[in-house]
Amino acid sequence: MLPEDEIKRRLEKMISRRRLIHSLGVQTTAIKFARLYGVDRQKASIAGLVHDCARDLPRETLLEMVKRFHITVDELELGEPVLLHAPVGAELARVEFGIDDEEILNAIRVHTTGDVGMSMLDKIIYLADYVEPGRSYAGAGALKRLAIEDFDRALIAATDQTIMYVIRRGGLIHPRTVAARNSFLNSLAIRPCNQVIGGDTSDGEGPLTRCQSGRKSRER
């Protein structure tokens, strides 16, 4: 893998200034989540930085790269090529930046639609993309706080908002997004009472936990 400075230099030539600012915000947020939830910070940092490396490619180029990289896609993705920037981005990250860590690549690959069986790194990039500091949609502040207090519920809330946004626009919802939401809900339903939902609270009381019933408690 190339040094981070070189990755940034190349990334600046691949995406717009606005997209770069967003990517740096996702990187910062991903590092924060990784620290809170015990995930490799370096992997979160790199995945957050390059997750949108294919986002500014035109439709025709995305479709060409699907063929070039032999990416399996469905009819919905062909009809909504913006969805292709995630799997294409994973392949570009491998080729352009020398990233061969499959955990990083998969986090890039699924960050748009989500999927069943997401790793914690996958979830961190998925949510960081939604709550990075530059996001200012209605309810953004509350969701950013929820991501610190209860990551699982924040994942569900972010996915719900995404689905409702697509519905309001009259768009098609990818089945992976629905499946991801159901997976998040199922995980919440079976979460043990002593599972940590927030990291170091810096208040000397220990991390927050939540029981299956939704009751908050303190782990001492």
Give the mean pLDDT of 95-114.
98
Residue 27: inside a domain: yes
Residue 69 has pLDDT above 50, yes or no: yes
- How far is the C-alpha of 58 from the C-alpha of 148, rounded, in Å? 35
In this prediction, residue 11 carries a pLDDT of 98
Task: Report yes or no: 208 and 194 within 8 Å, Cβ to Cβ.
Answer: no
Residue 175: inside a domain: no
CATH of the domain at 125: 1.10.3210.10
Q: What is the pLDDT of residues 71-85, one digit of tens each?
A: 999 999 999 999 999
Residue 19: inside a domain: yes
- How far is the C-alpha of 139 from the C-alpha of 162, rounded, in Å? 12
Residue 38 has pLDDT above 80, yes or no: yes
- How far is the C-alpha of 81 from the C-alpha of 73, rounded, in Å? 10
In this prediction, residue 191 carries a pLDDT of 65
Task: Report yes or no: 118 and 184 within 8 Å, Cβ to Cβ.
Answer: no
Residue 52: inside a domain: yes
Residue 40: inside a domain: yes
Return the axis-axis angle of helices 85-97 and 41-50, rounded to nearest 10°. Answer: 110
Q: Total structural domains in the chain?
A: 1
Selection from 88, 26, 27, 23 nearest residue 57 by Cα? 88
In this prediction, residue 39 carries a pLDDT of 98
Q: Which domain holds residue 72?
A: 4-140
pTM of the model: 0.86
